[in-house]
Amino acid sequence: MRASKTTYRAARVVGRIASRSLDASEPRIVAVRDSAIHGQGLFARTDLPGRRKLGQLSGCLVRLPFARKTVESEPAIYLVELSRRYALDCREGNAFKHLNHSCEPNCYLRIIRRVVEVYTLKQIKQGTELTIDYGLTPHKEGMGCQCGSRECRRRI
Ligand SMILES: [Zn+2]
């Protein structure tokens, strides 16, 4: 984490989104460990069925496009865009901020207004890293991808 108080102020925090339901269940089903993809990642602690809700991301509600500017220069992405005006900045959020990108993901985010839920896309074996597709990143040249999947787009 390289976030500083200064970048937070620049991002104009307009609210906080706390996670209620998932903080309780999260430690039993996921674990944060070193990832082969990038830095730390989130891993399944048990076998998981497809289409299972794992929990909800927590973080700060920030205004776009200020928030986009602050992540452009960061090596990791902790920003989930909710609408044209708002994003969820997860730098100080719960363990779901460690979800790495894969071009062949096994999880996805479901965004309902300001609530960002994490679901499995398919059955996941215990010990597997949980990944989502970030889509396009705010970085001008894109970010290099090391997800290792056969479908890898190389840049995201
Ligand atoms: Zn990839």
SS3 readout for 98-153: HCEECCCCCEEEEEECCEEEEEECCCECCCCEEEECCCCCCCCCCCECCCCCCCCC
**11: which strand partners?**
none
Domains and CATH numbers, the chain: 5-131 (2.170.270.10)
Handedness of CA 79, 64, 113, 15 (dihedral sign): positive
Ligand 1 centroid to Cα of residue 136, in Å, is: 12
pLDDT of residue 67: 83
- pLDDT (0 to 100) of residue 93: 86
CB 81 within 8 A of CB 153: no
| pLDDT of res. 14 | 67
pTM of the predicted model over 0.85: no
Return the pLDDT at 91: 86
Per-residue pLDDT of the chain (156 residues; tens, 9 = 90+): 333 333 344 445 666 766 544 444 456 789 999 999 989 999 999 999 999 999 889 888 888 888 888 777 777 778 898 988 999 988 888 899 999 999 999 999 999 988 999 999 999 999 999 999 988 776 777 788 889 999 999 988
Distance from the alpha carbon of residue 101 to the mean position of ligand 1, in angstroms: 7
Residues with CB under 5 A from ligand 1 (ion): 103, 145, 147, 152
Q: How far is the CA of 155 from the centre of ligand 1 (A)?
A: 7
How many A from CA of 80 to the centre of ligand 1? Answer: 19
